[in-house]
Structure 1
Amino acid sequence: MSSQSPGVIRRFFRGLWNTLDFTRRLVVNLVFLVLVVLFIVALSGSRPVLSDRTALVLDPKGAVVEQFSTDPVQRALGNVAGNETKEVQLRDLLRVIDAAAKDANIERIVLVPDDMGSVGLATARDIGAALDRFKSTGKEVIAVSGGMDQNRYLVAAHANRILLDPDGSVMLEGFANYRSYYKDALDKLGVQVHLIKVGTFKSAAEPYILNQASDASKEADSFWMGGLWQEYLGEIATLRKIDAAAISEDIAHYDERVAAHAGDLAQLALDQKLVDQLATRAEVRAQLRSLGAADGTDGFRQVDFKRYLSSLAVDALPQRGSDVAVIVAQGEIVGGEQPPGTIGGRSTAQLIRAAREDDSVKAIVLRVDSPGGDANASELIRRELAQVREAKKPVVISMGDVAASGGYWIAMDSDEIWAQPNTITGSIGIFALFVTIPDTLDKLGIHTDGIGTTPLAGSLDIRRPLSPQLESVLNSVIRRGYNEFIGKVAKARGKTPEQIDAIAQGRVWSGAQAKERGLVDKLGGLDEAIAAAAARAKLGSQYSVRYVEPEMSTWERLALGFGNSNALIGLARYSGFRLPAGVFDHQEILRVSGFVESLAGKRYGTFAHCFCDLR
């Protein structure tokens, strides 16, 4: 039996295939090797080696949030490309400050609040409390600013000294809540908005049916904003050791004060004792060199916030044992599965359920920062928390900047509710909006006509006027929803529905006012709420705290590690790699679309929402 060798063509293609296969394996192995090297660089490049007498430069850039609204891959790409996500997690700020307090190499904190984006009053108070803990160790905090609004100033006021640029200013103006009203515009378009609500002070949907705020809305807003303002003045007066009445007097006659200082806002702030010294950045650096350790020709020994945070992340390995689980509920409340930054009825309930079923979790803290939203989604979350308590695991609520309306709904079924004195809460009420456009169509010469098999058939058609029968149905549904709301609050708070109704009616309260009325148990921040949960679970001092969030994939973890690598970021920027500005900046879209998203797939909906926007 003889054998024949393969032909020339066959040998050619076999050789070509082997070459391609070898090349493929070589490329895959090289890519894997590069990833391993980058991972090692990411770890080694992220961990700073600190010398003694180092200053921690706390310069958060972006809005201070409870939870990132972008996924890890987006954040990693943004960091490497130079388009960093304009968000900073509150938990990261608090963790860095508390770690620095125990770090023998950190001598002081240099607080630079200028690039801190939107920061709520309760959030500012949490940061301030952490700075106070830092100062209690004998270390100092120096605030350096080119100019501050009143919320940033509330953080800076916790510093031992405040240094303001000679061309800067401190703007304390008080609080306001102004909205646009659309009735005339809608009338011109022929759009009819039908509002069905329960609660004299439930003003969330007034802009669609009025041209100005109702008297009840102004009365309620004046009360809760007045309470917040007095809290603010009292805190600033205590921190800066000045008279609150003097601050109010200066604001009331600000035009005269500015004129008397020839328009020099920085000198005015100094004379008002809102700051301690006027200094340029060069003068600030010189002071910090003299106070600490020199670094370079004119710098001082320092480590920035993000680099110090990355070093803590390396040490943040999961701890086993008894846990207090923290679940973040931030943003609008809508149905279904939602990404971070929005509260999904189903997705948030799943996180709560996962914590309940985890034997290592002994207590749950729900951190709420929400103006509310969809009533059905709110109820779904409340039920899950009720099941946690039935499982004999304590549930403690920590209210952030806002926990109103639906935000209060998800908070009420708990063992304990904590809020800051300047938290915005309450707004216990419910409403429904139904829009009809027959007049709009009539202006265009479009007319609607036909028949239905029942009086109710076609009544949800927005081309037709609202029928009295459907209006009656909606009224009954909303009335039931309100009664259910106050009934559940009454049961949770140990009161009668009548007692809750007297302080409900859609009325908004500050945290301190809510405590006086029995809607909140204690005043304090997230740390106090976590300690309370641990105490209720009888954990003593040996417990760990972990955030329960959707599990990240291996790729997301790897990408986030690369994105936080200072070495990799430096390499990318040195090479000139950048993405167009704004690629990952979709916060404004989220804010605008959150409420509209609640309507998705519905002809009408019931909402527990508070448009209590404070500026």
Structure 2
Amino acid sequence: MRSFFKIFFATLLAFIVIIFFGMFILMGIIKSAVSPEVVTLSPNGVLVLETSQPYAEQKIVDPVNAVLRQGPKETPGLYDVVRLIRHAENDDDIKGIYLKADNNANGFATNEELRNALLRFKQSGKFIYAYGEVMDQKSYYVASLADKVYVHPKGGLEFSGFFTQLTFLKGALEKLEIQPQIFYDGRFKSATEPLRETQMTVANRIQTNAYLGDLYANFLKNIGASRKIDTVTLHRYANEGLIQEAADALKYKLVDGLKYNDQVMDEIKSRLGLSGDEKVNFISLSKYESATDVATGKGEDNRIAIIYAQGNIVGGDSEKDETISSGHFVKLIREARQDKDVKAIVFRVNSPGGSALASESIWRELTLAKKSKPVVVSMGDYAASGGYYISCMADSIFAQPNTLTGSIGVFAVLPNLQGFFKNKLGVTFDGVKTAQYADLGNTSRPLTEIEKKFIQNSVDSIYSTFKGRVVEGRKLSGVVVDSIAQGRVWSGVQAKELGLVDRIGGIDDAIKCAAKLAKVSAFRLREYPEAEAPFEKFVKSFAGEARMETAIRKELGEQYTVYQQIKHLKEMNGEIQAKLPYVMEIR
């Protein structure tokens, strides 16, 4: 028996040692896989930009892809891409850009930022070739500036005008006997319309027609300038449905030719002086970023902070990607505010809003920062409702013409699930309380009339505070702010005319303005939130939340917006929201 235990424990020890060293080796392999890649560029390169790639505000690191080799391990952020394109203008190793323009995963203002960067690159005299098998409208918008635009002979080009559709849940909620108890301020504040109407209200139709018209006008104007076709003619193409096949796009001069991929490659080879089986030296953006140092500037003690605020605004202290949690962002702003080397702050906002209370907390910290150094806001695809709340105090606000902003209004939704539980599931509730309103907000019963007044009074108070913040920050009268508030969504063009933003421009413009206000001519950039170490990102990725969301989106397809609406309804249960009207998708 003694011999048995001796052998057993020796074997167990050996097994533990093997596991330990195995894990040690595995971690070493993982760390190696996620470590930054050292890249050396070879001459005669062509930078590749894909419109189907979503460009978030900050670089996205995917260490799981790095380890499993399923795809790119990192994707540059939007401003990274802008800087890389700018660097390529004077890089002798880069001869041109190949724009792969099939689908487009980005918002209108993001595409505007990319397009403007490409226009500047084109002015350097280097070439841009664009090719797609089937180009959607947003892809074509970016591609239209290229020296040559080609589509697949049997593919096509979408050119049919813009369209947005809302999904109304009122009927479904009635069938389920779910009563959405709704409170709001602002006659254009249509965030709750899908829950209380079966079609768009007159006010909502007015605002949607207005901003959609502005987005479309900007679309036609810039394509027309690039293709030398007047906007009236372009609108006629769409309105009469003239672009149905690839040949139509060529006939009406929207593209320069119908070619297969190999034919486009041959033309690029000819442009580069290559022949035979020589391959084009295509360089991805992520590879180019690894080979260059363009991110922050060089050598100066002065700093300008860029704080990227992307996603829904929520309470708490979460550091989750694409979420603006008040606790986390207050810390980031405070760090930049108290750093004596930081001479100005550029607050990059790409948010449809969210929690009104969280928005107020972020507004407060930015207001404190403004007392010690300039604060400039740069707006992305959205800076609306809560996104505008956290922007309105800035010294200067920049937006793209197709940014959606404003939506100065608030609402609250508290569902009454009593009928659903009792009549659909056979579930009832009962309990005791020590005060009349101890269970206020309980979804298992309807609100009383007095309780409804309590909530509406809170909504009214927060709406009044919101408008007061705009009056103070934008130096507008209360009467003017009340007239342009009401929950109405405005395009960047409209917002500038109304005084809600100061200038039309992108991130670079905002940074130049911040430097001018801070009276610094040379500076380095400091970006917040700081990028996570790839290995830490790998460990966190096992939670799999982002990947789960991607899988759900892929599985549901067009019905994903319905899922989003139901999810958002659950998340905002009872909390007063400063948020965009609905899940907005423009095609």
Deviation, structure 1 residue 293 = 3.5
2:579 paired residue among 609, 612, 615? 609
TM-score, with length taken from structure 1? 0.84
2:355 paired residue among 346, 368, 374? 374
**Structure 2 CA distance for aligned equivalents of residues 548 and 376 of structure 1:** 22
**Structure 1 CA distance for aligned equivalents of residues 45 and 75 of structure 2:** 26
- Note the alpha carbon deviations across 1:119-166, whole angstroms, 9 max, x for none: 111111111111111112221211122121111111111212212111
User: What amino acid is the match of 2:337?
Assistant: R
**Structure 1 CA distance for aligned equivalents of residues 267 and 308 of structure 2:** 41
2:56 paired residue among 53, 65, 81? 65
CA distance 1:454–1:109, shift in 2 (3 Å):
same
Show the counterpart of 1:410: 390
**Structure 2 CA distance for aligned equivalents of residues 429 and 20 of structure 1:** 66
1:329 paired residue among 286, 306, 309? 309
Show the counterpart of 2:184: 197
**Structure 2 CA distance for aligned equivalents of residues 598 and 414 of structure 1:** 31
**Structure 1 CA distance for aligned equivalents of residues 439 and 508 of structure 2:** 53
Matched, 1:419 2:399: yes
Spell out the pairing of 1:23-422 with structure 2 (5 A cutoff). 31=25, 38=32, 46-51=38-43, 53-59=44-50, 62-67=53-58, 72=61, 75-84=62-71, 89-114=77-102, 117-254=104-241, 257=242, 265-294=245-274, 297=277, 299-312=279-292, 321-338=301-318, 339-390=320-371, 392-422=372-402
**Structure 2 CA distance for aligned equivalents of residues 408 and 58 of structure 1:** 31
**Structure 2 CA distance for aligned equivalents of residues 582 and 481 of structure 1:** 36
CA distance 1:46–1:468, shift in 2 (3 Å):
same
**Structure 2 CA distance for aligned equivalents of residues 145 and 319 of structure 1:** 42
**Structure 2 CA distance for aligned equivalents of residues 274 and 120 of structure 1:** 22
**Structure 1 CA distance for aligned equivalents of residues 390 and 173 of structure 2:** 34
User: What amino acid is the match of 2:585?
Assistant: D
Deviates more, 1:589-598 or 1:347-356: 589-598
- Note the alpha carbon deviations across 1:343-366, whole angstroms, 9 max, x for none: 111112211111112222111111
Deviation, structure 1 residue 57 = 2.4
- Note the alpha carbon deviations across 1:196-244, whole angstroms, 9 max, x for none: 1110000011111111111111111111111111111111111111011
Deviates more, 1:163-172 or 1:24-33: 24-33
Match of 1:205, SS state, is helix
Q: Unpaired runs of 5+ in structure 1?
A: 1-8, 564-578
CA contact (8 A) 2:96 2:126 kept: yes
Q: CA RMSD in A?
A: 3.6
Match of 2:380, SS state, is strand
Match of 2:291, SS state, is helix
User: What amino acid is the match of 1:470?
Assistant: E
**Structure 2 CA distance for aligned equivalents of residues 451 and 307 of structure 1:** 64
**Structure 1 CA distance for aligned equivalents of residues 417 and 578 of structure 2:** 25
Show the counterpart of 1:570: none
**Structure 2 CA distance for aligned equivalents of residues 225 and 406 of structure 1:** 21
Deviates more, 1:449-458 or 1:407-416: 449-458
Relative contact order, CA 8 A, sep 6+: which one is greater? 1
Deviation, structure 1 residue 32 = 11
Deviation, structure 1 residue 306 = 2.5
User: What amino acid is the match of 1:300?
Assistant: V
- Note the alpha carbon deviations across 1:540-579, whole angstroms, 9 max, x for none: 1x1112311146348448999xx9xxxxxxxxxxxxxxx9
CA distance 1:199–1:559, shift in 2 (3 Å):
closer
Deviates more, 1:315-324 or 1:269-278: 315-324
CA contact (8 A) 2:35 2:534 kept: no
**Structure 1 CA distance for aligned equivalents of residues 122 and 539 of structure 2:** 36
- Note the alpha carbon deviations across 1:380-410, whole angstroms, 9 max, x for none: 11111111112x2111000001111111011
Show the counterpart of 2:452: 471
1:481 paired residue among 447, 458, 462? 462
Deviates more, 1:310-319 or 1:26-35: 26-35
Show the counterpart of 1:546: 526
**Structure 1 CA distance for aligned equivalents of residues 552 and 395 of structure 2:** 33
CA distance 1:154–1:453, shift in 2 (3 Å):
same
Aligned length: 568
- Note the alpha carbon deviations across 1:291-331, whole angstroms, 9 max, x for none: 10427715323323332122126997985511111111111
TM-score, with length taken from structure 2? 0.87
**Structure 1 CA distance for aligned equivalents of residues 301 and 552 of structure 2:** 37
- Note the alpha carbon deviations across 1:42-66, whole angstroms, 9 max, x for none: 66x6413322x32222236531221
Give the % identical residues: 33
Deviation, structure 1 residue 443 = 2.3
Q: Unpaired runs of 5+ in structure 2?
A: 555-559
CA contact (8 A) 1:373 1:598 kept: no
CA distance 1:456–1:521, shift in 2 (3 Å):
same
Deviation, structure 1 residue 178 = 1.2
Matched, 1:529 2:503: no
**Structure 1 CA distance for aligned equivalents of residues 87 and 58 of structure 2:** 20
Show the counterpart of 1:572: none
Q: Which has the larger radius of gyration?
A: 1
Matched, 1:491 2:478: no
CA distance 1:49–1:587, shift in 2 (3 Å):
farther
Deviation, structure 1 residue 30 = 8.8
